[in-house]
Each structure stands twice: as structure tokens, then as C-alpha cells.
Amino acid sequence: MSGALQAIPSVLLESPNRLETRWLHVKKQSDLHRQRESLDRQRMDRRATADLLDLRAYEGRGLPPFGWRDRTRGRTHVTATMAAVLVRAYATFRAIYPDRRLSLGDLAQPGGGTLYHGTLVRELEGDAAQDVLNRSRLEGGRLVARSLRPATSFPRELHRFEAPDQRVEVEETILAQHSARPLRLRVAVRRYVESAVPEPDQAKEMIREANAIIRRGTLLSTTTLPYWSRDGARRLVRQHWVSPGTRGQLVVTSSRKQKRRLRVADLEEIRFSRFSARKPDSFQRERRWLPTRVQDGRKTRVEGWRRFTALYEAGHITHLTGRDADISYVTNENRSHFAVDIPNIDVVATWHWFEALCAAAREMGTEVEKILVDRSVLSHLKAGLPESALKTPLFTQILKRSGGHNAHHHLRLLASDRRSEAKGADLMSGLSERTLESLRVPVSYSVPLPATEAAARTPDDAAASSPTPSK
């Protein structure tokens, strides 16, 4: 495997702020060809940062009892500043509302970088890394390991599959290596479920859809790349079209370059997905079509098709380097975390949580840049808050209306500097030795505390560092 290791490029490490600057520059480019060139020239798929903390790793080590939207995706990494702000704000909040809970959703992935639709980035080492390397084959210039597993291989996600025995194809693409000894790899994981065998009419409609994208869209790239399988080595052509007008995206792998219409006999794979210019190289709602061939004399012909659908994973424009966090609203009886249930949001408690976040950020030497909420949530808050709260900078400047944030709010801090990062790292390193009381920050609340909640304040919380179940 030494030859395979030599083919894997090294991870390019840089600071979180520098990594974020690169990604935002790429995402803001309006010319799609220049955006594609920038992605390749700057080798964005290899870039990462080593300066993030895995917040969930602090469970049992002093982390207050956050809930988690899931325990499978691994998008739990943050800057030291963000970690300290969340911990201190939650400790402060629970002093007032000891029976209320908050749950965390997407933070950042290991090593940072863009969160692609349908993709989970893992940092593998030791036996896990060696297993992926041993199973990998060259596909399009990258080493890719494929495996078929039953849905029961993902016990915490069985609700996402049609049946426990449903087959799931796992695609593991090796992006880069941190080191060879010990082996440590950066791997992008995508999962696909196979649909029923398509009828001939459905296959014809699929070809018509592909040809329409080719006619109306823009050919973004054409590359001839090496592939290696049990049948031997060969070179295939990969072409990528996008149609911004229809938000369609098409990637075709074939034995020869395709032009105005697809030549079915040449096709090896067709991938459809939804396109967003601000999420380059992200393939939302991806559908894969693979031809099945039979021998016909000396040649083979396409007899039918297999089709796969990518398992949903959220894609984001932000969440690049650990200063963004998706957090549930404070709800009555801790129900409906990460579910759209506007009437169930506790307006006053949610407002106090926002104020605790702002106070904790200031204590850590930074500021809350914005808190994104949906229009419906903003109206709900406005209807339930007194006039004095609506005139505060928190409501007029920090709260921002943003669609899609009706089941959670999005917290963003200002970019960290060295001082706030050092202060956050110091707090987190000694978290297990601190009491919740010592983590709390002073807050000037603009809305009076409910009498019942104020009376329920406790000097400490014995369950502060115990792991919490997934929401």
C-alpha cells in the first residue's frame, strides 16, 4: 500500500480564519468557470484546520447537559471561543431555568471546511484508516472505497430507512492524509439507498432530463481521469454541467466525451442533483443511475438501469470553521427540539437565552455577530416581548431574519482572535474542575425573570457533566 499512500496528497493546514476567508471568496464568485478554477487552484478539498475542539468530547468532563440533535454526523467541532461561550451561556441560563434544555445541531465538521450536501467528513486513523485504504480503488483520480451494508449497520438511524434489511451503499473518498505513520486520513463519506428497478419509461425520461440540462446548461468541466477496478485500469471522461436557471446539475462519466446528446452505449454513470452557486461541489438531492449491461455478441449493450438516492445530510454556506452553531429554541416542556412548532417556543426563556449568549461572548472577549431566526419566529418573539426588549440592540441589530430557521436558530460569533482563543482554550482545558457557578456570567436582563423560574435557581447542578440523550 506504499504506492497508494504516495498517491494521496497531504492535508494543507491553516488557521480557521484563513480557511474561512478562502471558502467565502470562492463561494462569492459569480463566474462559475472561475469558481471551478479557484476550487482546483487553491486545492480546497485538501485544506483543513487543526485548531477546532470536539465539543461533544467534553461530555462527562464538565460539559453542561446539552441535548444533541443526533449522535452520528460528527459535526460537533467549534473554536475554543465558541465552546467557552456555549458552556458559559448555558451554565448561566440553567441557573434561571434549571428544568429547561437546549439541543445542539450542526456546528462544524472535523478540520472545518464546507459542509457539503449528503457528505460527512471523517478523520480516520489506525485500523479504521487502514481498512478504508485496503478497500479503495482508483476512481476519477481519487481512491474510493465502496461497500454494501444493511440498514442495521446504522442502528441510531434506522428511522431513516424503509426496512432494517435495506441495502445501503457507502462511498468513502480519501481526500488527503495527515500522516502515514501512524496512518491518519481525511475521508468524505456519502451513503446511498437503492430504489426499485426503474421501468423503461422512467429510464427514457431520465435520459430526456439529462439531455435537457446539456442543451440549456453550461459545461463546467471535462476531465479525463484514471479508474481502476477488478477489470483493470482504464481512463474515463467525467463531464459536469450546471443549469442555474433550473437549478439542475448533471455529472456524467462515460468512455467517450458526450456532446449535445448522451450516447447511452458510452455511459458508465449519471448523477443528477440540485445546484446552488454558493455551495460549489455540493450535490443536493443526488440521484445516481448506473447502467446494467449484457453481452451481445462481441459487444455489450445497456439492458436496464439501477438507481440510487443519496441519504440526506444538510449542506451549508457557513459552518466553515467553528464559529457557527445551530441550536434549538427553548420550548415548553423541552418538546419539539429541531421541529417546526412555533407556538411551542417559550418567548421569554428564548430571549433570556439570547441575552445569556451575548453576555458570555463579551466575557470571552468577543461579540455575537448575528442570530438568525425565521420570519415566523421573529413575529412570535415580537408578539410576546415587551416594548423595552424590542428597542434593544439585541433585537434591532443582532437578530436577523433568515428563511429556514423556524426549527432552530443559527448563532454566529465574530471571528476569534488569539486572545479570545487562548482564553477559551484555558477554560475548556480545566472544565472538569470547574463548578457551574464559576462558569456563569453576569447578565442585565431586559425582560423580568418569571417569578417561578427565579425562585427555582440553584447554586449548582449535579448532573452538569453527564452525557445527554439524542433529541
pLDDT tens digit sequence for 244-262: 999 999 999 999 999 999 9
Cis peptide before 182 (omega within 30 of 0): yes
Q: Taking a C-beta distance cutoff of 8 angstroms, is the pair 466, 152 a contact?
A: no
**CA 72, 11, 282 angle in degrees (round to 5)?**
55
Is the pLDDT assigned to residue 305 strictly greater than 50? yes
The three cell numbers locating residue 441: 456570567
Residue with the bigger pLDDT between 185 and 5: it is 185
* The CATH number, out of the four listed (3.40.50, 2.60.120, 3.30.1380, 2.40.160), of the domain defined by the range 53-112+316-455: 3.30.1380
Joined together, the cell numbers standing for residue 76 give 460537533
Phi, psi (rounded to 5 degrees) for 354: -60, -40
Question: Does pLDDT of 25 surpass 90?
Answer: yes
Burial 223-250 (b: 16+ CB within 10 A, else e): eeeebeeeeeeeebbbbbbbbeeeebbb
pLDDT digits (tens, 9 = 90+) for 371-427: 999 999 999 999 999 999 999 999 999 999 999 999 999 999 999 999 999 999 999
pLDDT of 465 above 60: no
Confidence check: pLDDT of 459 > 60 = no
pLDDT of 451 above 90: no
pLDDT band at residue 227 under the 50/70/90 scheme: confident
Intervals of CATH 3.30.1380 along the chain = 53-112+316-455
- Give the whole-angstrom CA distance, residue 87 versus residue 424: 10
Q: What is the reported pLDDT for 271?
A: 97
Cβ pair 241, 261 in contact under 8 A: no
Sheet holding 399-401, edge to edge: 67-68, 103-104, 324-327, 409-413, 368-373, 399-401
Give the sign of the dihedral formed by CA 186, CA 281, CA 172, CA 138.
negative
Three-point CA angle 33, 37, 41, nearest 5° = 175
Question: Is the predicted pLDDT of residue 468 greater than 50, yes or no?
Answer: no
Query: How confident is the model over 116-163, as pLDDT tens digits?
Result: 999 999 999 999 999 999 999 999 889 999 999 999 999 999 999 999
* Cβ-based neighbours of 14, under 8 Å, separated by 6 or more: 47, 49
Confidence tier at 470 by pLDDT (50, 70, 90): very low
Q: How far apart are CA 460 and CA 437, in angstroms?
A: 6
Cell triple for 25: 471568496
Residue 226: per-residue pLDDT: 87
**pLDDT for position 458:** 42
Strands 67-68 and 103-104 come out as parallel
DSSP characters for 181-211? TTEEEEEEEEEEEE-PPPPHHHHHHHHHHHH
Are the CB atoms for 210 and 252 separated by under 8 Å?
Answer: yes
Distance CA 374, CA 352 (A): 18
DSSP-derived secondary structure for 97-123? -TT---EE---B-TT-----TT-EEEE
Indicate the pairing of strand 368-373 with strand 399-401: parallel
What residues pair up with 76 in beta bridges, in sequence order? none
Residue 296: predicted pLDDT: 81
Using CA atoms, how far apart are residues 86 and 108, in angstroms rounded to an integer? 14
Percentage of the chain exceeding pLDDT 90: 87
**Is the pLDDT assigned to residue 454 strictly greater than 60?**
no
What is the mean pLDDT of the segment spanning 45-55? 97
Mean of pLDDT values over 41-49: 96
Name the nearest CA neighbour of 471 among 110, 72, 162, 161.
72
Q: Cell numbers 452538569 label which residue?
A: 464
